[in-house]
């Protein structure tokens, strides 16, 4: 049966963080009445310090502001072009930080709060929402630290396996930066019905000496500690690699790096001492994750250690590994292309809980959800932007482009974009390629915005 939207004209948004604040701003500017439900300061989280909307919980950086060569810089550009509250407030409270956009966090959050509270179409209700609503238009934007009661309600609705409370991220590498003269494609024991399945993994072999050096580097690397209040207990299935190495020098060789069931076509007579496997991370085949390599190593240390893996000497990372408290949905299976919960279509999700990662990405998903929900309340429907834009690349990834089985939160990056044909590959062509991506994205984003501006 086709979905009939609720009759009420009010948009309720749960959570006034990066995503909820942006969603409210977008919806209200389209003429819709918005109620933000924010639990702070009545109920706190271990990371938030204030009762302000749009609070930045940790670093004060929105990362690169380069909209020609960097995907997050492009996302800034797209949000500015869409009159985004988070970006215009960040610009107002910008701190000197070279090519990055750093923000004076307290005045930033105060300005976001003031702008939302002063908006004639927005009201803020302080209190925790503990259940999924049956009726009305709702956006859930409760972030990585969604309250326990609401987390349980979402888990009950979606199935426990579809909602993660912990983020164990293996590093993700751009395929075009892997040296295929050393690596090869093969599934262990050539398992699989099709050629695609039999070559689903990318393998990087190690000699005994390379393995021993790698273990030494892992043990010596700088690690991050858990934040206070975060549980430090790991699930056995997602132990950090350095913890596995601490349990014994051979543990990894009997775990994710076991060298069995594989033949190196570059040297068929040489048996590898250990093998690092990478698995495809998106349908485009532009990104590969290093299987079982979730880690608490600091970012700088990760790049040093992982570049010791033969074939990854020149690897570029779409994202580095990590483990932290994070509530997020298995969006590829649960959400529609326009961010509704398939089982409860009056509820949309936005922000980090949808499986994007970072302040900017979360606000971006708030922007899309706010516009989509408001359009629906006004009697229309909004197609999501094309995957050639930064916004579209992210939403396409989380709602279907990503592999559902291994879905992990994602930063925006050029690996999510459909390739521009006819450009030089490899390291040399990278600058031209990124410029071509960003030129195409800007034109397509403006084309997506234009009819909405005309209708306003």
Report in angstroms how near the CB of residue 129 gets to ligand FAD at its nearest: 4
Contact between 17 and ligand FAD by CB under 6 A: the answer reads yes
Report in angstroms how near the CB of residue 62 gets to ligand FAD at its nearest: 7
> What ranges in 263-330 are assigned the alpha helix state H?
299-306
Kindly indicate which of the ranges 64-72, 336-344, 353-361, 389-397 contains the residues binding ligand FAD, using the contact rule CB under 6 A.
Answer: 353-361
Distance of alpha carbon 286 from alpha carbon 291, whole angstroms: 16
Contact between 208 and ligand FAD by CB under 6 A: the answer reads no
Cβ atoms of residues 150 and 130 within 8 Å: yes
Q: Which of 73, 351, 385, 401 binds ligand FAD (CB under 6 A)?
A: 351
Q: For ligand FAD, which is the closer residue by CB, 109 or 276? A: 109
SS3 (DSSP) at 71: helix
Q: Please report, as residue ranges, which positions from 101 to 140 form the binding site for ligand FAD (by CB under 6 A).
A: 128-129
Contact between 227 and ligand FAD by CB under 6 A: the answer reads yes
Write the interaction track for ligand FAD spanning residues 245-264; mark x where CB under 6 A is met and - where it is not: --------------------
Q: For ligand FAD, which is the closer residue by CB, 289 or 354? A: 354
Distance of alpha carbon 295 from alpha carbon 172, whole angstroms: 12
DSSP lists the bridge partners of residue 319 as 172
The conformational region for residue 395 under phi > 0 = left, psi -120 to 50 = alpha, else beta, is alpha
Contact between 355 and ligand FAD by CB under 6 A: the answer reads no
Q: Which of 38, 66, 338, 376 binds ligand FAD (CB under 6 A)?
A: 38
Contact between 369 and ligand FAD by CB under 6 A: the answer reads no
Q: Which of 67, 111, 146, 264 binds ligand FAD (CB under 6 A)?
A: 146
Contact between 58 and ligand FAD by CB under 6 A: the answer reads yes
Contact between 147 and ligand FAD by CB under 6 A: the answer reads yes
The distance of Cα 265 from the centroid of its chain, to the nearest Å, equals 35
Contact between 412 and ligand FAD by CB under 6 A: the answer reads no
Q: For ligand FAD, which is the closer residue by CB, 39 or 202? A: 39
Cβ atoms of residues 65 and 58 within 8 Å: no
Q: Please report, as residue ranges, which positions from 159 to 198 form the binding site for ligand FAD (by CB under 6 A).
A: none
How big is the CA angle at 353 (ends 69 and 446), to the nearest 5 degrees?
Answer: 40
From residue 190, alpha-carbon distances to 49, 257, 306 in Å are 52, 17, 26
Cβ atoms of residues 185 and 168 within 8 Å: no
Q: For ligand FAD, which is the closer residue by CB, 136 or 418? A: 136
Q: Please report, as residue ranges, which positions from 303 to 342 form the binding site for ligand FAD (by CB under 6 A).
A: 325
Contact between 142 and ligand FAD by CB under 6 A: the answer reads yes
DSSP lists the bridge partners of residue 375 as none
From residue 170, alpha-carbon distances to 19, 199, 262, 264, 376 in Å are 25, 20, 22, 24, 38
Residue 395, classified by CB atoms within 10 Å of its CB into exposed (0-12), middle (13-18) or buried (19+), is: buried
Distance of alpha carbon 186 from alpha carbon 196, whole angstroms: 9
Report in angstroms how near the CB of residue 305 gets to ligand FAD at its nearest: 22
Q: Which of 11, 13, 15, 434 binds ligand FAD (CB under 6 A)?
A: 15
Kindly indicate which of the ranges 32-40, 131-139, 397-405, 413-421 contains the residues binding ligand FAD, using the contact rule CB under 6 A.
Answer: 32-40
In the complex, which residue's CB is closest to ligand FAD? 17
| Per-residue buried b or exposed e for 63-102, using 16+ beta carbons within 10 Å of the residue's own CB | bbbbbebbbbbbbbbbbebbebbbbebbeebbeeeeebbb
Contact between 145 and ligand FAD by CB under 6 A: the answer reads yes
The tokens of 165 are what? 């409370």
The tokens of 181 are what? 């003269």
Q: For ligand FAD, which is the closer residue by CB, 8 or 59? A: 59
Q: Which residues bind ligand FAD (CB under 6 A)?
A: 14-20, 37-40, 45, 47-48, 57-59, 128-129, 141-147, 150, 227, 325, 351-353, 358-359, 362
């Amino acid at each position: 049966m086709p979905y009939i939207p609720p009759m009420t004209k009010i948009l309720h948004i749960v959570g006034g963080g990066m995503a909820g604040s942006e969603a409210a701003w977008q919806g209200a500017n389209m003429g819709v009445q918005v109620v933000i439900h924010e639990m702070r300061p009545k109920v706190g989280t271990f990371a938030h310090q204030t009762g302000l909307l749009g609070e930045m919980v940790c670093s004060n950086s929105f990362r690169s502001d380069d909209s020609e060569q960097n995907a997050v810089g492009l996302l800034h550009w797209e949000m500015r072009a869409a009159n985004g509250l988070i970006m215009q407030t960040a610009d107002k409270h910008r701190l000197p930080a070279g090519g990055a956009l750093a923000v004076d966090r307290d005045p930033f959050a105060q300005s976001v709060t003031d702008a939302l509270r002063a908006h004639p179409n927005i009201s803020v209700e302080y209190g925790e929402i503990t259940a999924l609503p049956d009726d009305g238009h709702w956006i859930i934007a409760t972030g990585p630290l969604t309250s326990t009661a609401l987390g349980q309600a979402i888990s009950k609705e979606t199935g426990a396996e579809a909602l993660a409370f912990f983020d164990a991220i293996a590093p993700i590498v751009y395929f075009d930066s892997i040296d295929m003269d050393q690596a090869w494609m093969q599934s262990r024991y050539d398992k699989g019905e099709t050629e695609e399945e039999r070559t689903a993994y990318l393998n990087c072999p190690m000699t005994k000496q390379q393995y021993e050096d790698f273990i030494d580097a892992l043990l010596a690397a700088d690690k991050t500690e858990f934040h206070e209040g975060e549980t430090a207990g790991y699930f056995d299935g997602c132990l950090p690699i350095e913890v596995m190495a601490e349990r014994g020098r051979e543990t990894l060789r009997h775990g994710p790096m076991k060298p069995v069931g594989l033949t190196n076509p570059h040297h068929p007579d040489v048996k590898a001492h250990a093998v690092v496997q990478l698995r495809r991370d998106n349908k485009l085949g532009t990104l590969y994750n290093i299987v079982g390599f979730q880690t608490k190593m600091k970012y700088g240390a990760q790049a040093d250690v992982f570049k010791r893996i033969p074939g990854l000497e020149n690897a570029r990372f779409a994202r580095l590994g990590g483990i932290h408290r994070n509530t997020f949905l298995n969006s590829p299976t649960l959400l529609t292309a326009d961010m509704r919960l398939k089982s409860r279509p009056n509820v949309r999700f936005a922000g980090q809980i949808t499986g994007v990662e970072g302040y900017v990405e979360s606000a971006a998903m708030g922007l899309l959800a706010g516009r989509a929900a408001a359009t629906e309340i006004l009697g229309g429907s909004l197609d999501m932007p094309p995957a050639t834009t930064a916004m579209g690349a992210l939403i396409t990834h989380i709602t279907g482009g990503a592999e559902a089985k291994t879905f992990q939160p994602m930063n925006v990056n050029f690996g999510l974009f459909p390739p521009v044909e006819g450009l030089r590959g490899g390291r040399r062509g990278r600058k031209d390629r990124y410029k071509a991506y960003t030129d195409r994205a800007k034109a397509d984003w403006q084309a997506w915005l234009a009819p909405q501006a005309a209708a306003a």
